[in-house]
Amino acid sequence: MEDAAIEVLRSKKWVKGEQGRMFGAEFASWCGAEAAVPCQSGSAALWAALRLLDIGPGDEVIVPGLTFIATATAVSLVGATPVFADVEPDYWCICPVDVKSKISDKTKAVIGVHLFGQPFSQKLRKLCDENNIALIEDAAQAHGATMDGKKIGSIGDIACFSFFPSKNMAVGGEGGMITTTRKDLAERMNRLINHGRDDTLESIELGTNLRMSEVQAAIGRKQLEKIDEWTQIRNNNSEFIQHNTTVRKGCTHAWHQLCILSDQPNELISSFDRQGIDARVHYPIPCNRQQVYSEYSNVELKVCESIAHRLVAIPVHPSLTTGELEKINKVLHL
């Protein structure tokens, strides 16, 4: 990664070069998408996805109540209305049954989050097709996960990845990727992240600067070479740790986070802290209960409210040693 970054710096081609184009092409090939374009962040990718689908004021987008806040705020930032749905009690991803009950004539899309690296239900794609609405994958935590043999990023109409340093893939700073399975959206993706301009530099549609730097793209290309290996190590580490988290049938979990559903989360975190092991709750407050969405505080999401404060994340990353894994296991089963 250092060599790749230094080579780009010395080339003095720092933006809009071959590294970004190659990173997008290689990422699309890796996950099986029609096209992919690197961008500034996973949040930027979500905003761009909604713009690509021409979603705005008067439209509704169904999102899970249990997710990072950017899933919902991206909808608000384009002027559309987020509609919060509950999550599944076993897998913690957006619940297709609740989604179905909240589809209206204003619904233009569903954002399904592959939460903690767990793929959302296979039923979601069919449900969106039956109702002629778009499916956006929030894949910020799911690099390398699969569903029925297909990599995440090739399931929905559009998928959005994050390369924030804590994610399964990184680019040496902030970064993201947007992918699509639709040919009609592929050309517009390139325009949208570059002020809506075409090859003649004329602005064809409303866009802004969401570009990724060449240095970060070069680093991302090196990380892409390792992601499948890292995903396998994460799965091996998950198997080593004797936990009760369920993996959806027919899917490969990316294990961005290994979360344990605990009836005594504070006590569990304290036990890990005493051994110098980082553990924390993800995400303790459902989106519709946060101040930014106070007008939705009366929306009842029973599963979200039951589990949000009880999901304790423990280490599962590829750098863990056998000794560290044994230490984690010991604390978990005290």
What is the location of CATH 3.90.1150.10 in the chain? 227-332
227-332 falls under which CATH superfamily? Aspartate Aminotransferase, domain 1 (3.90.1150.10)
What number is the average pLDDT over the span 207-216? 96
pLDDT score of 199 more than 90: no
Q: Is the pTM of this model over 0.85?
A: yes
In this predicted model, what pLDDT tens digit does every residue of 40-99 receive, in sequence order? 999 999 999 999 999 999 999 999 999 999 999 999 999 999 999 999 999 999 999 999
**Average pLDDT value for the chain:** 97
- Structure-token match 């919060």, residue found: 84
Sign of CA dihedral 28, 29, 35, 37: positive
HSE value, Cβ hemisphere, 13 Å, CA-based, for 74: 28
237's tokens = 């580490």
Number of other CB atoms surrounding residue 322 within 10 Å: 9
Task: Specify the pLDDT at position 74.
Answer: 98
328's tokens = 């984690």
Q: Cβ distance 161 to 177 under 8 Å?
A: yes
Task: Specify the pLDDT at position 314.
Answer: 97
* Mean pLDDT lowest among 24-33, 106-115, 235-244: 235-244
Task: Specify the pLDDT at position 245.
Answer: 93
Laid out side by side, the sheet with 150-151 consists of 150-151, 146-147, 251-252
Question: pLDDT tier at 187 (50, 70, 90 boundaries)?
Answer: confident
Task: Specify the pLDDT at position 177.
Answer: 98
Question: pLDDT tier at 244 (50, 70, 90 boundaries)?
Answer: confident
Prior bond of 283 cis (ω within 30°): yes
Task: Specify the pLDDT at position 168.
Answer: 98
What number is the average pLDDT over the span 212-229? 98
Helix 70-77 × helix 42-52 angle, to 10°: 40
What is the location of CATH 3.40.640.10 in the chain? 2-224
Question: pLDDT tier at 7 (50, 70, 90 boundaries)?
Answer: very high
Q: Cβ distance 163 to 171 under 8 Å?
A: yes
Task: Specify the pLDDT at position 198.
Answer: 87
Helices (H) and strands (E) in the chain, counts: 12, 13
CA distance 130 to 112: 16
CA distance 172 to 220: 8
Task: Specify the pLDDT at position 82.
Answer: 98
Task: Specify the pLDDT at position 153.
Answer: 98
What number is the average pLDDT over the span 277-305? 95
Question: pLDDT tier at 104 (50, 70, 90 boundaries)?
Answer: very high
Task: Specify the pLDDT at position 220.
Answer: 98
Task: Specify the pLDDT at position 334.
Answer: 78
Task: Specify the pLDDT at position 333.
Answer: 85
Cα 212–chain centre separation: 18
- CA-based nearest residue to 157, from 197, 188, 116, 203: 188
Q: Is 105 buried (19+), middle (13-18) or exposed (0-12) by CB count in 10 A?
A: exposed
38's tokens = 């690197």
In this predicted model, what pLDDT tens digit does every residue of 246-289 receive, in sequence order? 999 999 999 999 999 999 999 999 999 999 999 999 899 999 99
Domain 2-224 has CATH 3.30.450.20: no
